[in-house]
Amino acid sequence: ANLLQISELINDKSVKPVIYDTFNTSSAINLKWIFFLILAMITIEWFLRKYFGSY
């Protein structure tokens, strides 16, 4: 009986495979300490260039 059902399922064109895929991503802007570290480094670099007069 099961073999008959399996062959019917194989031949049934209305049955479509379902694939589930899950993955987690973390946006770089969510890592706030990295954002503020880069911002601080850019600010310090700008200030030093302005203070020492070299562009």
Residue-range domain boundaries for the chain = 2-52
* pTM confidence score: 0.43
Q: Look at the chain and count its residues.
A: 55
Q: Along the 55 residues of the chain, how does pLDDT read in single tens digits?
A: 578 888 887 788 787 778 888 777 666 567 788 889 999 999 999 999 999 886 5
Phi, psi (degrees; rounded to nearest 5) at 30: -75, -20
Q: How far apart are CA 15 and CA 12, in angstroms?
A: 6
